[in-house]
């Protein structure tokens, strides 16, 4: 069995993860739990969240779940307040939640456009804003924003999604410079085609997987835990001088 890195600096660090019940987020929750961090995650899917907690409850520091519709900014702020009522200092924030439902140019209405920006971009800023006093309190905060290579490729039928994901890179760079004087690092991760259950169920047909592999330098699909391992490094003290950067993990697609 392959042994991957352990980061002593992550032990007992307080980590907040948005969209942690499924997909890449689920893998992120599990990865930080294995590092003995104190994990809190937000999601709208209570059933999936409870299943994840049950699976991880055999070790100390069982992850804590807060049910939250991240497109509701008031609810998001309330969820942040609940977490900070338990922890005055937050060490790590991972803005992960997103939704890549396809949409043609013709079918996008103003309401749909706003919905997809709310699902993929707005909450990253407002959760950061809500937790910022507690992150400042840590003196060594790390914020990691999840973007995507889809806006670089660019992927079609994803106009609103790609706009949001491109915006996340700009948000990351702005926050890195604004929060750097407080010792807070801000980085961005841009995954490629990741073999999550949702992607497998909705998009990754045999034909599409063949197309993906033809574009990648590595001729295999990327697993969620490979993304999580990059996030562990960026959150740990091992990356203490790294900020304002965007990391592509796409098996050589770009």
Q: Known catalytic residue: 161?
A: yes
Give domain status of residue 254, yes or no. no
- In the predicted structure, residue 1 carries a pLDDT above the cut 60: no
Q: Which domain holds residue 76?
A: 8-249
| Structural domain includes residue 112 | yes
Does the pLDDT at position 244 exceed 60?
yes
Whether the model clears a pTM of 0.75, i.e. scores above it, the answer is: yes
The token pair at 200 is 């497998």
Give the pLDDT confidence score for residue 253 in this predicted structure: 96
Q: Which of 7, 116, 161, 208 is catalytic?
A: 161
Query: What confidence score (pLDDT) does residue 83 get?
Result: 99
Taking CA atoms, 42 is separated from 48, 105, 185, 206, in Å, by 12, 31, 22, 32
Q: What tokens does 135 get? A: 């992150």
57 vs 12, residue with greater confidence: 12
Closest to 178 measured CA to CA, from 128, 225, 216: 128
Q: Provide the pLDDT for residue 208.
A: 87
Q: Please tell me the least confidently modeled range out of 1-5, 136-140, 221-225, 248-252.
A: 1-5
What is the CATH number for 60?
3.40.50.720
Would you mind telling me the total number of residues written for the chain in this entry?
254
Residue 45 lies in a domain: yes
Q: Model confidence over 20-54: pLDDT tens digits?
A: 999 999 999 999 999 999 999 999 999 999 999 99
Asked whether the beta carbons of 191 and 222 are under 8 A apart, the reply is yes
User: For residue 151, is pLDDT > 80?
Assistant: yes
- The phi and psi torsions of 165 (rounded to 5 degrees) equal -70, -35
Examine residue 2 and state whether it is found in any structural domain, yes or no.
no
With both helix axes pointing from N to C terminus, report the angle between 110-117 and 159-179 in degrees, rounded to the nearest 10.
40
Q: What is the pLDDT of residue 68?
A: 98
Would 105 be classed as within a structural domain?
Answer: yes
**In the chain, what percentage of residues exceed pLDDT 90?**
90
pLDDT of residue 222: 94
Residue 117 near residue 41 (C-beta atoms within 8 A):
no
Average model confidence (pLDDT) for the chain? 96
Count of structural domains, the chain:
1
Max Cα distance, the chain (Å): 51
Look at residue 1 and tell me if it is in a domain: no
Ranges 131-145, 204-218, 235-249: which has the least confidence: 204-218
Do residues 162 and 150 make contact, with C-beta atoms less than 8 angstroms apart?
yes
What is the structure's pLDDT at 148?
A: 98
Whether 3 is in a domain gets the answer no
Lowest mean per-residue pLDDT among 28-37, 61-70, 193-202, 219-228: 193-202
d(CA 77, CA 79): 5
In this structure, is residue 37 part of a structural domain? Answer: yes
pLDDT tens per residue, range 49-79: 999 999 999 778 899 999 999 999 999 999 9
Distance CA 247, CA 249 (A): 6
């Amino acid at each position: 069995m392959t042994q991957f890195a352990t980061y002593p600096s992550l032990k007992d660090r307080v980590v907040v993860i948005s969209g942690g019940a499924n997909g890449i987020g689920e893998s992120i929750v599990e990865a930080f739990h294995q590092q003995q961090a104190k994990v809190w995650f937000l999601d709208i899917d209570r059933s999936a969240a409870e299943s994840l907690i049950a699976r991880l409850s055999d070790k100390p520091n069982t992850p804590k779940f807060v049910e939250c519709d991240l497109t509701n900014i008031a609810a998001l702020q309330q969820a942040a307040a609940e977490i900070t009522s338990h922890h005055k200092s937050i060490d790590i924030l991972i803005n992960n939640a997103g939704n890549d439902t396809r949409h043609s140019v013709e079918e996008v209405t103003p309401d749909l456009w706003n919905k997809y920006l709310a699902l993929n971009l707005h909450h990253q800023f407002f959760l950061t804003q809500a937790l910022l006093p507690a992150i400042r309190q840590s003196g060594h905060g790390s914020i990691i924003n999840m973007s995507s290579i889809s806006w670089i490729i660019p992927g079609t039928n994803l106009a609103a999604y790609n706009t949001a994901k491109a915006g996340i890179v700009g948000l990351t760079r702005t926050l890195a410079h604004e929060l750097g004087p407080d010792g807070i690092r801000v980085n961005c991760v841009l995954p490629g085609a990741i073999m999550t259950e949702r992607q497998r169920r909705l998009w990754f047909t045999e034909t599409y997987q063949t197309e993906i592999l033809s574009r990648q330098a590595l001729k295999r699909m990327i697993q969620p835990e490979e993304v999580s391992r990059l996030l562990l490094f960026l959150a740990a003290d091992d990356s203490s001088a790294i900020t304002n950067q965007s990391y592509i993990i796409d098996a050589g697609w770009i």
